Amino acid sequence: MTTQHSPEHGHHHHGGNHGNHHEHQHSDEQGMAEMLDLDARLIKDHLQEIFVWTAGYQPAPSTILDLGAGTGTGTLGLARTFPEAGVVALDQSEFMLGRLSTQVKSLGLEERVSTLQVDLDAAWPELTDIDLVWAASSMHHMSEPASVYERIAGTLSADGLLVVVEMDAFPRYLPRDLGFGAPGLEERCHAAAGSAKWNAHPDWAGPIREAGMEVVDQRTFGYAIEQDQQLVARAAHRWLFRMRDSLKDDLSAADLQALEVLLDDKDPRSVLARTDLSMRGSRTVWAAQPAR
């Protein structure tokens, strides 16, 4: 079971309808959607930089396909960046697409933005001659990325562009020394998450070329967000909460205790009370076109 929206955080085993698990799944998707929306507000300028870079290669696409649209951060950003284009947001989650449709209506974009529910591991949409295919934090969820890249190559127009975006690592928020516990807590959390293969993705240049496309550029975009401490603190709190739940067996008792302190809203040392946070990270982006 894979997901095609861009959870960006934590484990990726939700999605699809599992009968009795539906309630649980809904709340899981609800939490994921809120996290995606919060992230989107924080990294807006960072993503805008990637949209502008994309426009350098495909200045005026008429048709755009967002693969694994999630709550639509990419979809709406692309619609803003390319005001003449029609955008199809594709995801396997009805919940995420429903949330996106609500935003589309509230922004009056129904004429230009449509949604399509597809599980790309099982089927491929009947779409051809697409000028821009955008796949942000979704390719590493595919069970057979090679065949998805081949389908993308067949979906692009002759001078179309594929843009693949992946997070290089999860964002970091905390200072190295918290003033309590052993310094380096966040590094240890990341190391534990890394060994659990969260968010792992290869260098996509090889698979893209093997699918008959040419990589025209590859770049890494870094960011560090310090303004809006309140939003950063909320994002950090959500992330540490997920970390604590998922890494219970991988961290020392002392580190788990430090996480408890950071997550305790009533403790003055809580992450929500701190003013020394910054959200730091980077994304690598590949741009490719059909081989001439």
DSSP one-letter string for 194-214: HHTTTT----THHHHHHTTEE
Q: Name the residue among 134, 163, 145 with its Cα closest to residue 69.
A: 134
Residue 233 amino acid letter: A
Q: From the CB of residue 230, how many other CB atoms can be counted at a distance below 10 Å?
A: 10
Q: Please, which pLDDT band fits residue 25 given cuts at 50, 70 and 90?
A: low
**Is 211's pLDDT higher than 50?**
yes
**Is 12's pLDDT higher than 80?**
no
What φ, ψ does residue 243 adopt, rounded to 5°? -60, -50
Alpha-carbon separation of residue 280 from 44, 168, 224, 248 (angstroms): 13, 11, 4, 24
Which pLDDT belongs to residue 110? 95
Q: Please, which pLDDT band fits residue 24 given cuts at 50, 70 and 90?
A: low
Which pLDDT belongs to residue 120? 86
In this prediction, what percent of the chain has a pLDDT beyond 90?
Answer: 64
Which pLDDT belongs to residue 229? 87
Q: Name the residue among 38, 282, 251, 193 with its Cα closest to residue 262.
A: 251
Q: Name the residue among 52, 62, 281 with its Cα closest to residue 156.
A: 62
Alpha-carbon separation of residue 49 from 78, 219, 226 (angstroms): 12, 12, 17
CA 32 – CA 135 distance, rounded (Å): 18
Span 42-69, mean pLDDT? 93
Which pLDDT belongs to residue 32? 74
Name the average pLDDT for the chain: 86
**Is 165's pLDDT higher than 70?**
yes
Tokens 């052993």 appear where? 182
Query: In which element (H, E) is residue 23 found?
Result: helix 22-42
**Is 202's pLDDT higher than 80?**
yes
CA 95 – CA 118 distance, rounded (Å): 13
Start-to-end CA distance of the chain, whole Å, equals 35
Tokens 């990726």 appear where? 12
Range of weakest confidence among 152-161, 174-183, 244-253, 278-287? 244-253
Tokens 């992330």 appear where? 239
CA 274 – CA 132 distance, rounded (Å): 42
**Is 23's pLDDT higher than 60?**
no
Which pLDDT belongs to residue 201? 76
Name the H helices within 211-285. 229-246, 253-263
Measured in residues, the chain has a length of 292
**Is 158's pLDDT higher than 70?**
yes
Span 190-214, mean pLDDT? 84
Q: How much is the pTM? A: 0.83
